Amino acid sequence: MSIHLFDTDFHNPLIISGPCSAETAKQVMDTAILLKKTAKVHLLRAGVWKPRTKPGSFEGIGKAGFAWLTDAKKETGLPVAVEVGNVRHVEEALLNDIDVLWIGARTTVNPFLVQEIADALVGTSTPVLIKNPINPDLDLWIGALERFRNIGVPVGLVHRGFSTYSVSEYRNPPMWHLPLEVKRRFPEIKMICDPSHISGKRTMLKKIAQTSIDLDFDGLMIETHINPDDAWSDAKQQITPQELEFLLNKLVWRKGNSEITENNSQLAKLREQINQIDEELLTLIGQRMKVADLIGIYKKENNITIYQAERWNEILYRGLSGSTMHGLSEHFIRNYFDAIHLESIEHQNRVMNEGNK
Ligand code: PEP
Ligand code: MN
């Protein structure tokens, strides 16, 4: 079966759904039948090999899962997608007539693997969806895109958020400005949002999905399971096919709304980029102040004064020396560091004088 998901008859929006992992024949079949019943899903996903962070968790059912996917496809007519992480996976998937392959976030980070997988697809026309790398590195993502484009298979991108060291309400914070930058550079490539792996929990799926629609994404990949709480992987983020239908019905698809002119949507995208960057700046400044608190504790314990002119001059000098590179005026840098310094002193003051009142 030839699939043109990413060119001529691309469904817009493209809805991809199915379990995180194929677990049993019944689970795959029941999920597929219910997804088909929604009449809103275009592609059935299920991982047969699972890249787990630690050994010992369920690492996928392996090739046995292909027969279940083939049966589900026969029963529902839905084309099927699996994740491939090496050449052997690609060969098995091609042997089993899998319609679409996806490259997982942990694979996109590795150019050797990406190139080997791309080479294994030479001469085929199986579409490949490329998830963003786990780290927020646009060039790695774009590099993978180019490797697959170079061999001529149809490609699409999946935004699944980026891992972060800091505490976050997301499993993988979306950092929307990054996929938007890729969309700006490659407007012809379809961008699918994966709210499941961004959120890590059911409650946030709708909000993330709606944001992606408002940002003019081309589709959604959402994990579904007939019995999410009992899923063998990613249980917290999966929903039932019925819940998916409910969620999709609640979303406002703004595309095609004639009141939104191209200019307006361009402006909305730029504004969303600004909002995201501001949010990240404030998060970082908050983290900076937490470090200042720790310094306050250290200074208190070691009887050191809060203000130390030498250190402050060093900070200011470092900031000013980067002003041209960042395209910021000296005037702005001075104002910015004044404000930061003041807030930092207030934080340290609070820490040092705690209990002295
Ligand atoms: C998945 O889709 O189940 C998966 C493993 O995703 P990611 O590569 O985005 O972590
Ligand atoms: Mn998953």
Task: Determine the distance from the C-alpha atom of residue 171 to the mean position of all C-alpha atoms in its chain, rounded to a whole number.
Answer: 9
- Out of 215, 241, 259, a domain closes at 259
- Dist CA 301 CA 324 (whole Å): 39
Query: The CATH number of the domain where 335 resides is what?
Result: 1.20.59.10
131 lines ligand 1 (CB under 6 A): yes
Residue 105 Cβ < 6 Å to ligand 1: yes
SS3 of residue 32 by DSSP:
helix
Measure 185 CA to ligand 2 centroid, in angstroms.
Answer: 28
Which residue(s) pair with 192 in the sheet? 158, 219
Q: What is the DSSP string of 283-311?
A: HHHHHHHHHHHHHHHHHHHTT--S--HHH
- The pLDDT mean for the chain works out to 91
Answer yes or no: do 159 and 293 share one domain: no
Q: Is the pLDDT of residue 294 over 50?
A: yes
Tokens standing for 319? Answer: 């900031």
User: What pLDDT does residue 356 have?
Assistant: 63
Distance CA 8, CA 163 (A): 34
Same domain, 206 and 332: no
Query: What's the CA-to-centroid distance between 197 and ligand 2, angstroms?
Result: 6
Total domains present in the chain:
2
Torsion of CA 172, 173, 177, 179, to 10 degrees: 20
Q: Kindly state the tokens that stand for 29.
A: 């079949």
- 217 and 172 part of one domain: yes
- Quick one: what percent of the chain has pLDDT higher than 70? 93
Domain containing 307: what range?
265-352
Which tokens in the block code for residue 315? 């900070």
Cis peptide upstream of residue 241 (ω within 30 degrees of 0):
no
- 234, 271: one domain: no
Which amino acid residue places its CA nearest to atom 3 of ligand 1? 20
Is residue 2 situated within a structural domain? Answer: no
pLDDT at 12: 76
pLDDT digits (tens, 9 = 90+) for 218-273: 999 999 999 999 999 999 999 999 999 999 999 998 754 444 555 667 787 888 88
* Domain assignment present for 250: yes
CB neighbours of residue 157 within 10 Å: 27
Q: Do 221 and 332 reside in the same domain of the chain?
A: no
CATH number at residue 228: 3.20.20.70
- Ligand 1 pocket test target in 106, 163, 224, 238 with most atoms within 8 Å of CB: 106
Which tens digits make up the pLDDT trace of 39-78?
999 999 999 999 988 888 899 999 999 999 999 999 999 9
Rounded to whole angstroms, the Cα distance separating 175 from 106 reads 18
- How far, in Å, CA of 98 to CA of 284, rounded? 43
